[in-house]
Amino acid sequence: MSMFCFQCQETAKNQGCTVRGVCGKTADVANLQDLLIWLLKGVSFYGVRAGELGISDPETDLFVAQALFATITNANFDPQRFVALANKAIVLRDRLKAQITEVPQGPLPEMAIWAPETGDLEELIQKGATVGVMSDPDLDEDIRSLRELLTYGLKGLAAYADHAYVLEHYNDALLAFLQEALLATTDERASADDMVGLVLKCGEMGVQAMALLDQANTSTYGNPEPTQVNIGVREGPAILISGHDLRDLDELLQQTEDTGINVYTHGEMLPANAYPAFKKYSHFMGNYGGSWWHQQREFEKFGGAILMTTNCIVKPRPSYQDRIFTTGMAGWPDVRHIPDRQDGEQKDFGPVIAKALESGSPQELEHGTIPIGFAHASVLSVADKVVEAVKSGAIKRFVVMAGCDGRHKTRQYYTEMADSLPHDTVVLTAGCAKYRYNKLDLGEINGIPRILDAGQCNDSYSLVVIAQKLAEAFGLDDINDLPISYDIAWYEQKAVIVLLALLSLGVKHIRLGPTLPAFVSPNVLNVLIEKFDIKPITTVEEDLAAIVAGQ
């Protein structure tokens, strides 16, 4: 094998990509990512000890989160960026080591001491090929499965923590846990039970991370409001912003005001249209297109400049490669990158603006509006109406259809499921899975839309808050006694942390699709089934009957 990766739902044959990633990741980039993860474990070897000794290194702590974020599916495909990250990991690791006077006795693990001779691309690729997921063929299958499940949960946790830190909202316990858990994946003494405990703790930390990010977003930009978002276009130069980073959008809107440029969201940036702080901009036009995997066709037709703020980038077509930019942890070879903020200043989006001004108007894909903005504050503001609708029988069931979209034709299941649900059922959603059904006309129940879109994937926290408050309103001790079914779509590692967060809260009976994760071994799956009743989706007809029956 020239590589091995099975962290996403679309991994080859639902077993693993061994030549090139289905996502477009080359073997070289896959090996560089494996090396970076291994080096982060080396950083954590000293970082955990430093924490025990009261030694603080905020730069290193945040770096671990950002570097993990860079390895998420569809985030960064640029080998030179990973060379820089790997070499920085070594510098920070050795800086930590120098501060620790009490180094453990005995031989140190290679990840804690390895140093490249040159640190160049070829040397790092070769080393990465020796430290990946399958580097120890004798490792117990279940231990490997649990280590990878934990690692992928940590990647999602790191992404959400980084978003919150960008908005200057901090919880250093999250960053400490990243290192504690990374180090635990190297502990040969850790049993399967130990690892299961850490996986569930990762879910608990995921709840904290999503709560922190929710606080960061809402305290900075206001609580999302129910909003009808324009999906048409206006004549004039334009910028399309995709990904998840609201601060990037904020600064872009400020820098494009009075320039004649219209700004549109794409993909997971759609929920930004519901935040009060952004509604004051008359050039903030609405949303263009659908979820991430449509972007090649949609970006080609958009015609203007495109800014990718986080993950979800796919190989740019030549027709728009000179119009697309990355920023944050996102990256693609030969695509211009907007550097991070320096000394409290904004990012400089001047190159994106200049490209927009020399480009044409977007081609219209569709027209009309779609409803968004039903995060927990909006829903709970009408909680009495919701409770009354349930008590009267007008609403008989909620179905949580959150998570990710993807290329697989089997994801049509979610469109058909939403369209087939009884008219007394309300869909709760967050993440880009919504694009499978958010333009269906499912109507309302007593003024409550039958699709309540809470926002981005991280806003799955809103769905948890809504469920908890409904349980309180009905005097229920167990959230599983609510008339709520979970029919979740997953694709990448942020969906993994959302799933672990739900499990840590005791949510059971979750249907998961389109396939179960390849990195979950049969024995680990059995544990999830026995403890939480995790189950694969089947057919729309079979699952619909079970959902209606409350199963």
Give residue 482's pLDDT.
Answer: 93
| Domain locations in the chain as residue ranges | 12-219, 227-357
Written in H, E and C, the secondary structure of 169-237 is: CCCHHHHHHHHHHHHHCCCCCCCHHHHHHHHHHHHHHHHHHHHHHHHHHHHHHCCCCCEEEECCCCCCC
Over residues 532-538, the mean pLDDT reads 96
Tokens linked to 246: 């609201």
Give residue 157's pLDDT.
Answer: 98
170 contacts: CB under 8 Å, gap ≥ 6: 164, 212
State percent of the chain over pLDDT 90.
93
Over residues 112-121, the mean pLDDT reads 96
**At residue 101, does pLDDT exceed 90?**
no
Over residues 173-200, the mean pLDDT reads 97
Give residue 551's pLDDT.
Answer: 82
Residue spans of beta strands (DSSP E) within 329-458:
336-338, 369-372, 397-400, 425-429, 444-445, 448-449, 451-453
**At residue 103, does pLDDT exceed 80?**
no
Mean pLDDT score of the chain:
96
CATH of domain 227-357: 3.40.50.2030
Give residue 104's pLDDT.
Answer: 72
Give residue 344's pLDDT.
Answer: 85
Give residue 89's pLDDT.
Answer: 98
470-500 pLDDT, tens per residue?
898 889 999 999 999 999 999 999 999 999 9
Give residue 158's pLDDT.
Answer: 98
303-338 pLDDT, tens per residue?
999 999 998 999 999 999 999 999 999 999 999 999
CA atoms lying within 13 Å on the CB side of residue 286: 21
Give residue 383's pLDDT.
Answer: 87
Give residue 91's pLDDT.
Answer: 98
Over residues 375-403, the mean pLDDT reads 93
Give residue 441's pLDDT.
Answer: 92
The span from the CA of 168 to the CA of 162, in Å, is: 10
**Helix count and strand count (H, E) for the chain:** 18, 16
Model pTM? 0.97
4-36 pLDDT, tens per residue?
999 999 999 999 999 999 999 999 999 999 999
Cis peptide preceding 514, ω within 30 of 0: yes
Over residues 371-385, the mean pLDDT reads 92
* φ, ψ dihedrals at 434, nearest 5°: -60, -30
Fold of the domain built from segment(s) 12-219: Substrate Binding Domain Of Dnak; Chain:A; Domain 2 (1.20.1270)
* φ, ψ dihedrals at 286, nearest 5°: 135, -150
The span from the CA of 372 to the CA of 375, in Å, is: 9
Give residue 254's pLDDT.
Answer: 98
Over residues 450-473, the mean pLDDT reads 90
